[in-house]
Chains A and B, each alone.
Chain A
């Protein structure tokens, strides 16, 4: 439960930063999977 806008933003933006980090790391895996054939693996 959020009591102030500051509480809400601290929680949502904190969670979003973590999510973006996971997505960026996930994109590396996605790119490697996508281009595996080009690299001849």
Chain B
């Protein structure tokens, strides 16, 4: 049995990739079935002391940050006129849309009772709560990303009128997306401002909303570099940009990422200074904090800088991978590693293997869907019938 793709490529269903992805997804579906029928206790190590774990720390907190590339690139191209980044707008928006979809799925796995998802909007709004702001912005931004992704779908289906209609909404949607992203990326950090006694003082700061927003921009840019690196190899038969153009795009992103990471480092130092927490750097927690700050912020910033100066693409990719890992580590620290840092070791949280499996399943699901869409729709290339609209 075989499947046809937009480029006439035919591949069997029982490929190693599909088999491995299938096993992961079936395992994830079984665990989620157990979770929804018997509750969190049977599938997670969560407790009243540690109510937020891997599903919130990775799927929501890190997921939202890593999906920030969509609004960063679309605003660069459509608002700031950086047309040279146009070839990566669609992959970035699709990555953003799938990333936010996974955020919602991960959140549902954690919260349960999915039929209550619209409750904040129709039944019990809490407009003074950061959680309400996050849920409203994520719901609206997911809708914006969905609409921003539809031009590729309409071109694929040949719906020219609809394609022209959504094309006219581009600027408005981009502006709306930037506003919503700025709001909820920072508010995810603002949620921790009610936890001064639980979050370790090195991570707790009145500046945490700003830190979350800036680190999300760095994560978004880095994720685009990593995603472009992988998809450039996986979809090399579709990519229309020349190697030189692709290199220039990566070096431009590296320059931006270096400046953003430098700014993030400065904001972290200012937060340390304002809270006067320097003495804590000499403790064990301080060593862990310095590993995150120096190893996954300062080092990739320097690597991006050197890579841009010396035009070394391999170094750009290494720095991007380190930045992605660093932002994930930061969200893990804030959500469960440096959270509840005073409780006895026996009461501390470590994710169950079932939690890890579900998270891996969600990532796999995103990769499978991205692959399916990119093999069929004009994501990596310009549709020949719509050259003027790109």
Contacts and interface: CB of A to CB of B under 8 A. Distances in A.
Interface of A: 8, 11-13, 15-16, 19-20, 23, 27, 30-31, 33-37
Given A8-B276, A12-B275, A27-B262, A34 B255 contact: yes
A13 B274 CA distance: 6
B274 A16 contact: yes
B309 A16 contact: no
Nearest to A24: B266
B186 interface: no
B270 interface: yes
Interface of B: 255, 258-259, 262, 266, 269-270, 273-276, 305, 308-309, 311
Contacts of B311: 37
Contacts of A31: 259
23 contacts: A8-B276, A11-B276, A12-B273, A12-B276, A15-B273, A16-B270, A19-B273, A23-B266, A23-B269, A23-B270, A27-B266, A30-B262, A30-B305, A31-B259, A33-B305, A33-B309, A34-B255, A34-B258, A34-B305, A34-B309, A37-B308, A37-B309, A37-B311
Contacts, number: 37
A30 B308 CA distance: 13
A29 B53 CA distance: 41
| Overall SS of chain B's interface | helix
| Overall SS of chain A's interface | helix
Q: Which 7 pairs show the lowest CB-CB distances between chains A and B?
A: A16-B273, A23-B266, A12-B276, A19-B273, A34-B305, A16-B274, A37-B309
Contacts of B269: 19, 23
Contacts of B308: 34, 37
A12 B271 CA distance: 10
Contacts of A36: 309
Contacts of A30: 262, 305
A19 to B, nearest CB: 5
A34 B258 CA distance: 8
A16 B308 CA distance: 31
A27 to B, nearest CB: 7
Contacts of A23: 266, 269-270
